[in-house]
Amino acid sequence: MRGSVVKKNDRWYVVIEDRDPATGKRKRRWHSGFRTKREAQAACNELAAAMQRGDYLQANRQTVGEFVEEWMATIAPTVRPSTLDKYQRDLRTHVVRHIGFMQLSKLDGPALNRLWAMTVHRMLRDAVRWGRIPKSPADMADPPKRSATHRPIKAWKTETLRAFLEATRSDELSPLWILLATTGLRRGEALGLRWSDIDLDNGRAHITQTMIAIGWQVYVGQPKTQAGRRPVALDPLTVDVLRRHLGASARASTPGDGAAARGLVFCGPDGEPLHPERVYQAFRRTLIRHKMPTIPLHGLRHTWATIALQAGVHPRVVQERLG
């Protein structure tokens, strides 16, 4: 194996010569894109050393856009559908649109500085593992520093939460608001609850699935982590509310319809799951209608945790309950 540098027109090229171990024939591999002989010679030395180490990669004309599509198709079975959807939106909007035309092997740190994202970092790490590039350009980029100031967690005081629950007592989604406020469940966890997951006699709910949205389609998913699969204690108020909600749901449904078949605690009249985004919008309208302080729906989870800690509940217990 030997390497040399050759000038054509105003550019310098590196030529790596080697023999095919199977046929014994000589092969020449060209590497282009060098402005000076010194740059080409440095690249030649590096390529020759890579050949000796056994980690030489042949020149690859695959573009960033082509690798994005290949990468997403490959990792699809290994990630949650909602995670894959986020990757697709992030990469197609912020990466492919700007540098999708570039060859993957020519991607460098400065090009990434303009569109840094953790998704890009993971994708390029896999590109190295798959032998498409020798090292990740993300390691040479300068990601934006996180701001030292963090947005404060939005949560209500006990008095505000009590006023909200009292004001919304007759609302259609009142049982859902009460469950979220008294358990700290995530929105998707509450929407994924089935009656078979709840033991009203012993005041306990078991989190085994979650509702996730991809666009306007709703899917049943699994909790993000093993800790997400957990039992959650229900206080007497929540048990009473859920008993009445169960009775109302039973009267509203008929044998064999979608509601009875799915067994979801919270669903539409046809038994179909409630879309998480529609629930969020309903919560916002409820706050406006009752003139309540604005917090995101996830703020009910923060409110529960804040009140529990203020009441002296051990942080470890709060953490385990939140999953």
67-80 residue pLDDT tens: 999 999 999 988 88
pLDDT top residue among 109 and 230: 230
Give the mean model confidence (pLDDT) for residues 259-285: 87
DSSP string, 125-139: HHHHHTTSSSS-GGG
The pTM of this model reads: 0.65
Lowest mean pLDDT among 44-48, 167-171, 182-186, 208-212: 44-48
What is the structure's pLDDT at 265?
A: 94
DSSP 232: E
* 3-class DSSP state of 246: helix
- For residue 198, what pLDDT is reported? 95
Segments in the chain forming alpha helices (H): 37-53, 64-75, 81-91, 97-99, 109-113, 118-129, 158-167, 174-183, 187-191, 236-252, 258-262, 276-289, 299-310, 315-322
Please tell me the predicted confidence (pLDDT) of residue 82.
83
| pLDDT band, residue 223 (cuts 50/70/90) | confident
Most confident of 74-78, 202-206, 214-218: 202-206
Nearest one of 38, 72, 74, 51 to 2, comparing CA atoms: 51
pLDDT-derived band at 118, boundaries 50, 70, 90: low
Tokens for 265? Answer: 């605690």
Amino acid at 309: L
Is residue 228 pLDDT above 90, yes or no? no
What is the predicted pLDDT for the residue at 146? 57
In terms of average pLDDT, the best of 40-44, 68-72, 256-260 is: 68-72
C-alpha pair distances (Å), 29 with each of 5, 6, 8, 222, 320:
12, 12, 15, 48, 57
Residue 203's pLDDT band (boundaries 50, 70, 90)?
Answer: very high
Residue 147 pLDDT exceeds 60: no
